[in-house]
Structures are given as structure tokens and as C-alpha cells.
Structure 1
């Protein structure tokens, strides 16, 4: 593919590794609440229903009547071990509230309590069990009611650890073209907000994280076609996207990543299609060139995306210092279009609150694309990264952050530069 984007002379920026980057809380397991049935004590108006708090759309919200107390309950469908609750408040927040669990929806156990909440986005690390989880708000922070953009409950159903059914990974199995699960494909019949989409998914029963793949400038689904079956065969539902136009800029590609993620989750919640019930609500994204810039924009703007892999990423004059999600930059040593020193390295350095991985390999701008570069190694790293951060499967960590990585990291024919925030 002819690269049509040109840049000014490389500035020769040198990498300054952050030696004491702050680390976020450990990744939650699975998003259990999205799309589940909800009940509530009250609803302010028809346009702010209880279901909006668990629909995965940060533009819709639940709001209550203007009185105390109020509650919202989500039915997870089975007993779960709860490890984290995320509250995304609208301006009308709760100053005092409790997070509670129940096996029967009647008798409640409090797993978090506060009287000094200030609203905003609250990530609460908790330890509890139950089929039902509710927020019971007892004191409003404003004169209005209570209003949540999202009420997100993370954990594992019946205490089953993530990755059940996926065998222990090995170097050989991760470097193979396909993983242990059989996969199939499904063409999205009516793409909404993006040009086209092909979903590759595990045929086995179970629910999995979703991953959006976004091509680069003048690119098509073929750009990252190699990656979709690798990820799907290791337990991901992957939508490989074609853009609205071949020249869409990185910000547009970021919005299309968000749109594709929204539709992927909607298909997972809708009957009558082959991926119904296969999405667990967790999202990640990978992209090449301007698609990699789009991944960064999605991580910056859409809290549903919890990890990203921008490859040879390009985006003119962005500010990604606010990105806090785990990010893996894969760049190419001889890239005349988007060299790591010009884009990925400054972004990496600015992201002081994120877990990060930077690997630079031989090749030009096309090295992450289908038909270029060492796909055995690239696939192993990307599968391991998403498995660790989207599924909290620690079995994959050593291939990026332990003894299993050293053979790659220290091979100068394979890796030009390897930098990370290990241990993670």
C-alpha cells in the first residue's frame, strides 16, 4: 500500500523513561452489569429510565425524583464475586450512599459506605458476593434527585476466574497463527457510524471482551485482517472495521471506534444473531497509523474502552496526557511517516497515570499490517496484552512483564527498543 501521509523531518526526540509512574488500581475482571435488568425506587421522567445506567452509553442517564432516599438495583443473573463498582455521576450526585449486595433482592449486605462523596467518576474497590447489587442513596448532593450516567459492576460470576476454558498459554501456542478456540465470522448487516464491519468470534459458549480494529489512512479491513482470528481464538469478540471514507482523520476514526464498540455491544445484547450473549461488556481497541491515533482518541474520550494497542500511531498535535488506561505502543524502526520518537514516545512520556508498554521493531510504517513484520511475535504480545488487561488473566503477564519476555526483549534482531512500567 502506498503511504500518502508525509511528515516533516524527524525531530530526533529521545526517550525519557518515567521511573516512578503512578499505578492505577488492579484491573477488574468482567463488566457484569451492562445490559442486565434493573429496578429503581423512582424515575424522574421517561427519557431518564433506570436501564440507561447500565446501557454502556455515557450519553444516557438514569435520574430519580427529588427526594431521599432512592435506590437502583441491577440483577446480575447469577451469584457473583464483586471486585469493583464504578459510578459515573451526572451533576446530581449522592453525598451519602451505600453499595449493597444480596442473594435474593430482599436482604442486603453493605460492601461500601460513604457520607462524603463529591460526585464525578468514582471507582470503588470492593469485596462482596451476590446476585443483586444496588446503590442505596440517602443524602443528595444537590437540590435535584440522583442521576447516574453509568452504574458499572465488575467481578466474576460464581467466582469463576477469567479465562476459564482457555488453556495455559505457552510461547509456541501464542506464536501460532490461531489460538485454542474455534472461530467464525459475521458481517455486520447495517453498520452504524462507521463504514463496514466483520466480526470474528469464538464459537464456544461463554461471554468475552470485545475488541475494535481500525485501519490507517487509505486502509481497509485488510490492514489488520491478520489480527482478528488470533484474538478471537484466544477469547475475544473482534470487530474489524472499515471507515466511512479512506481519508478520515484520526479524530473521526476515534469516533468510529466508539460507534463500532456501541454496535458490537448492542448486537451482543440482541437475540437472533450469532454473537448474541457473547459480549461481557468490556472493550478494547487496536489500530494502525491514523487508526492508532483513533485508538488514543477513543481511550481519551470513551471510558468503556479499558485498554488499547495503537500501532505505528499518527495524530497531529494531540494531548493524551489524560489517558489512564493500559496502552501498548507498537512502532517501526524505519518508519518515515509516524516514527515512535515523534508520536508514541511523547505520548508514552505524558501518560503518567497509565500502565504502558512500548516495543519498537524493525520495518517501515507498514510493519504492523497484514503481510508485513513478524506476526508470530506481534500476535503473542497483543494477545497477551489484551488478555491481561481486558480479562485480568494473569497467566499472560509473564510474556510481557516477566521471565518469558526476556528472550524477546534482549533479541536485538527482533526488538530495537522495549520500555514498560513493569511489574504489572
Structure 2
């Protein structure tokens, strides 16, 4: 791996995000004026849509150069890829947006040939800009396109290193609802309470399709929210994770707590059922005549226990609609999830004889080189994440914060996982027996 350094004489770009056309000099020579101007920023109607939004990449050079570093608004942090072609960096804007400008702030390792591409689903891409003569430095590209996802796709490196960006900035109109528009700022006390700031209600799915049963817990306040599917473990029921549904819903999520087709369904089947439940949740939101109508905004996450945790990993691996997952005490013998690129929070139990973290979650964590990750091990046996077991104030705080950060792009929740607010938890050996992460995110 190439150590992080900045070549002599190359400073990071300035921390300004946009600049109006500036008159640097006006010399009056008779009736002649000489105007010197810097490049114009996006039109005033355009907004910076990408900052703080979920980002992923084809690869990362090391743990300090992750995808999120290129959309954090900090020009002293960067994303860098492994040393090979092709490579890409993408950002999820949260909803379809009209794109008018992209600004690339390259480190010394830049792209000679690359494309800017947009997508509605993160799978099928449309090229809105292409070049084989990239110059590096700060490139301001005026483009026309639309999509929820925008990526820079490098096909030829200008150096022997990989691709490296201080910032990847997407300007336009639209995109996801600004984070926190209906959610008050979190505190340790509010996150550790049994319920969050929003009132909730329950709705029983009348005709589950592709899974056994479903209860939806949702905010009664107006607005649309990310959806989360909860999946129980072997021989489990909706009661397994019943504690989590109202906590999440009261912090601005539409939660479908499901029961499986049979209590012995394997993790692969449970992953398929998570996908089916997510599909039906979105269908109910798109329909009329039910209390879920208009409640789901199209973004999905999943959490599961034991085999349901294995199923959560299957959904993240196989269904691009799922943008974050929380597998708790996850179990799936011989499961391979190295291809998972979405943010994942592994919650495991120190004395678990069934799905010990060293057997499943830790190898998966280590193999997922392209994902933002969090791993917290707590005291207890295999049941520690279930209803009635473990420290639900702490577990709820971490899970709510993780989904809020990655499904709603609400960086106000980051300090409870990556900042000063986490330190009391992380350093309390009676509460946490192991903590790993890819912070800062």
C-alpha cells in the first residue's frame, strides 16, 4: 500500500465549496477595461447535493481513504483506490435529481480517462460526460443529466498509483429530503430512551407475499421515510426483534417486522424473504387506501438475528435496493459476503456458542474491503440482541444512529458511532468487549 502523503509542492485545494465570479482587477485605460475572473460556480439555483450522502467505491487503498472521505466536505481527507483499472466512486443522492455540474478535486493520483455517469437504480448507467485527456487538479464539469446515483468511472490512470479524490461534488436540483427536516437533533438521553421523538402506529400486512407474516410500525407524522425489514432467527417469530421496531419507527423509519414461511428457513431463504418484504412495503406505500400510503421513500435497510442476520447479508449482497444492514449475532456457515459494498453494522455477543463473532461476523467484516463497517461485540450469549436480553438502551442507540447515518444521510448521528459521544461506550469494558470500525463516517 502507498502511504498517505502529498507530494512536495502540492497543497490540498482550498476549503471553499463555491465562488461567485470575482473581479480581480479593472484597469481603466482610456475607455478600455481589463477584467480578470475566476471560473464561475454553479448557477445560483443549483445546490451541492452530494455532501454527506452515502458513498461507495470499487475499492479503497486503505482504511483511512474510504469512499465517504470524498463527500465529507473536508478537503484534507480523500478517497483513493487500489492500483488498477477500472475504478469507480459513486454517491447516492437519496432521490432522483437533475445534475448540472460535477466538481472533481483530484489528489496527485488522477484519471487520464474517465466518465461521469448517472443511474436511477445503481445498476444501469448513463454517461453524461467522457474524456481521455483528464488534467487532474480541480476539474469543473458542466453536465446535463438526471439520476439518484452519480459516479466517476475511471478507465485509465495518469500515474502508477490508483485514483484519488479530495472531494467529489455533485450540483443540481432535487435529491433526497435534507436530513433532519422532521427529526430533532439526537442526544445520548433521547437515543437511549425506549422511544424516539415521533409518535407511531402499527399495521398488520393483510396478505404477505413471499414471506410468512408482517407487522409494519410507522411514524404517524406526515412525510416519507426509509424502510427497514426485520428478520428473526431459527425457530424465531416477530417477537425476536419486536423491541427494535418502535424504536426505529419513532426515529423516522417505516419498519416491517416479518415472520418466516417456516421456522427452519435457512439464511439464503431468509434473504429472499427480506427482499420480498421490502418489495411489498414499497408497494403498499405506492398504493392508496392503506395507512402506509406515501410513507416509504424508496430507500431500504435490513436487520436480522442469527439466521436472519445471515439473511440480512444475503439481501445486501443480492438486492441493490438495500443500502445498509445490521446483522446481529449473524449465522451462515460458508457464507461469502466479500462483494457487499453497503454500510454494515455487525452486533455480536461475546459468549455466543452458536454464532460467535470470530466464526462468522469477523471474517465477513474483514473481507468487505469496499464497505463502511462497524463491529461491536457485547457481553452475553446468542440471545443478547433479542427482545428481553442485552442492554437495549445502548443497542438501540447504536442501531438507530447507524441507520440514520446511512439510510437518511443524517450526519448528526455520526458522533454516537465515530465521534466523541461514543467514547464512553467504546471504552467501557463491561459494556463493549470488542469494537472495530471504518470511521470517520
The verdict on a shared fold, with TM-score over 0.5 as the criterion, is: yes
* Equivalent residues of 2:128, 2:144 under 8 A apart: no
Secondary structure class of the residue paired with 1:156: coil
What does 1:61-140 correspond to in 2, within 5 Å? Answer: 85-86=118-119, 97=128, 110=144, 127-130=170-173
Hey, what does 1:32 align to over in structure 2? 95
- Indicate whether 1:156 and 2:176 are aligned: yes
TM-superposed CA distance for 1:82, in Å, is 9.9
- Indicate whether 1:212 and 2:229 are aligned: yes
Secondary structure class of the residue paired with 2:176: strand
TM-superposed CA distance for 1:162, in Å, is 1.2
Change (3 A) 1:31 1:81: farther
Hey, what does 2:187 align to over in structure 1? 170
TM-superposed CA distance for 1:117, in Å, is 9.7
- Indicate whether 1:241 and 2:258 are aligned: yes
Change (3 A) 1:402 1:90: closer
TM-superposed CA distance for 1:236, in Å, is 0.2
- Indicate whether 1:23 and 2:66 are aligned: yes
Change (3 A) 1:267 1:398: same
Whole-angstrom distance in 2 between the partners of 1:22 and 1:318: 27
- Indicate whether 1:199 and 2:199 are aligned: no
* Equivalent residues of 2:118, 2:151 under 8 A apart: no
Whole-angstrom distance in 2 between the partners of 1:261 and 1:167: 27
TM-superposed CA distance for 1:28, in Å, is 5.3
Whole-angstrom distance in 2 between the partners of 1:318 and 1:114: 29
Larger radius of gyration: 2
Whole-angstrom distance in 2 between the partners of 1:115 and 1:348: 26
Change (3 A) 1:110 1:239: same
Whole-angstrom distance in 2 between the partners of 1:28 and 1:90: 13
* Equivalent residues of 1:30, 1:281 under 8 A apart: no
Higher relative contact order (CA 8 A, sep 6+): 1
Whole-angstrom distance in 2 between the partners of 1:114 and 1:418: 31
* Equivalent residues of 1:22, 1:352 under 8 A apart: no
TM-superposed CA distance for 1:129, in Å, is 3.0
Whole-angstrom distance in 2 between the partners of 1:388 and 1:411: 23
CA RMSD of aligned residues (A): 3.0
TM-superposed CA distance for 1:116, in Å, is 9.3
TM-superposed CA distance for 1:318, in Å, is 1.1
Hey, what does 1:142 align to over in structure 2? none
| Unpaired stretches in structure 1, ≥5 consecutive residues | 1-17, 34-75, 100-107, 119-124, 132-154
1:402 paired residue among 415, 419, 434: 419
Change (3 A) 1:244 1:21: farther
TM-superposed CA distance for 1:399, in Å, is 0.2
TM-superposed CA distance for 1:20, in Å, is 2.7
1:82-130: CA deviations, max 9, x gaps? 9994356989x76x5469xxxxxxxx96268999999xxxxxx663334
* Equivalent residues of 1:80, 1:156 under 8 A apart: no
Question: Normalising to structure 2: TM-score of the pair?
Answer: 0.67
Structure 1 residue runs of 4 or more that deviate by more than 6 Å after TM superposition: 79-84, 112-118
* Equivalent residues of 2:118, 2:128 under 8 A apart: no
TM-superposed CA distance for 1:32, in Å, is 2.4
1:173-209: CA deviations, max 9, x gaps? 0000000000000001110000000000000001100
What does 1:291-330 correspond to in 2, within 5 Å? Answer: 291-330=308-347
Secondary structure class of the residue paired with 2:312: helix
Hey, what does 1:185 align to over in structure 2? 202
Whole-angstrom distance in 2 between the partners of 1:249 and 1:81: 46
1:393 paired residue among 398, 410, 430: 410
- Indicate whether 1:224 and 2:241 are aligned: yes
